[in-house]
Amino acid sequence: AQSVTQLDSQVPVFEEAPVELRCNYSSSVSVYLFWYVQYPNQGLQLLLKYLSGSTLVESINGFEAEFNKSQTSFHLRKPSVHISDTAEYFCAVSSTQGGSEKLVFGKGTKLTVNP
Amino acid sequence: NAGVMQNPRHLVRRRGQEARLRCSPMKGHSHVYWYRQLPEEGLKFMVYLQKENIIDESGMPKERFSAEFPKEGPSILRIQQVVRGDSAAYFCASSPLEALETQYFGPGTRLLVL
């Protein structure tokens, strides 16, 4: 079984400041890792994912996340945030073993970018 | 290529009524997942289906809830005799056979039980 912990439920930052959203996971098997973003009253959009290979993965809008196996973490970072980044961010994992690819989500982090 | 489609987007039911939520996966996707999001909570897995098969229903409540994904048509999540605690956002996701690890989500159905 897997579990995901997002330590911060809310993160307020000023525009153009850097931000880090933390995600730790627990699993007895190897996992794939994901970050999804949810804008108000919308569905989830895949932001980035780690499946294998380079431990640093990037999104098209400037976010990046690094898989750290020893610390079982997959923190999300952006060096300079915009007002439009205001949203809720969910970290998720799934087992690499076939059979059920269900996602296990953290409780989410609400990022608020203030002018 | 249209994304995952869900309807209705909003559904209001009185206690004891039935709720039917529909999900059309992305074109070419043969695997569908249903998740429920309660207020202030992350998404919780409910059920995973292929066409005409339930693969994993470990997250489904034992009573009143059922899901299907027929050979033709959308996947349906059915909730019988709804109670106030069923009020939540229900999200459907789909993935292609060649990339099962990546799921694409629909906009969700927000169910309100009065």
pLDDT band at residue B102 using 50, 70 and 90 as cut-offs: confident
Average pLDDT, chain B: 93
Q: What is the pLDDT of residue B93?
A: 96
Phi, psi (deg, nearest 5) at residue B15: -50, 135
- Place B99 in a pLDDT band, splitting at 50, 70 and 90: confident
Instruction: Please check whether residue B111 touches A, CB under 8 A.
Output: no
Mean pLDDT of B28-42: 89
CA distance A65 to chain B (A): 17
pLDDT classification of B110: cutoffs 50, 70, 90: very high
In chain A, the N- to C-terminal Cα span, in Å, equals 41
Q: Which of B92, B100, B52 is nearest to B72 (CA)?
A: B52
Instruction: Quickly count: other Cβ atoms within 10 Å of residue B94's Cβ.
Output: 26
What is the model's pLDDT at position A13?
97
Which of B26, B32, B35, B105 would you mutate first to test chain A, the one with the most A CBs within 10 A?
Answer: B105
Cα–Cα dist A26/A45, whole Å: 23
* Predicted local confidence at residue A96, as pLDDT: 82
- Over residues B52-94, the pLDDT tens digits come to 899 999 999 999 999 999 988 999 999 999 999 999 999 999 9
For residue B69, what pLDDT is reported?
95
User: Smallest Cα–Cα separation from A100: which of B66, B1, B85, B54?
Assistant: B54
Q: Which residue of B has its CA nearest to A42?
A: B107
Q: Which residues of chain A are at the B interface, by a Cβ-Cβ cutoff of 8 Å?
A: 4, 6, 32, 36, 41-46, 49, 51, 90, 92, 94, 96, 98-108
Q: Compute CA distances A71 → A24, A57, A106, B98, whole Å.
A: 8, 17, 17, 30
pLDDT value of residue A71: 92
Q: What is the pLDDT of residues A80-112, one digit of tens each?
A: 999 999 999 999 999 887 766 899 999 999 999
- What's the pLDDT score for residue B1? 53
Is A63 in a helix, a strand, or coil? coil
Question: Which secondary structure element, helix H or strand E, spans residue A49, and what is its range?
Answer: strand A44-50
Q: What is the per-residue pLDDT across A22-60, written as a single tens digit (0 to 9) for each?
A: 999 999 888 899 999 999 878 899 999 998 888 899 898
Contact B42 A36 (CB under 8 A): no
Higher pLDDT, B96 or A48: A48
Hey, how many other C-beta atoms are within 10 angstroms of the C-beta on A28?
Answer: 8
Question: Which of B32, B36, B43, B57 best tests the A interface by mutation, with the highest count of A CBs <10 A?
Answer: B43
CA–CA gap between residue B96 and residue A4 (Å, rounded): 25
- Looking at residue A77, its pLDDT comes to 97
CB B24 within 8 A of CB B83: no
Amino acid residing at A28? S
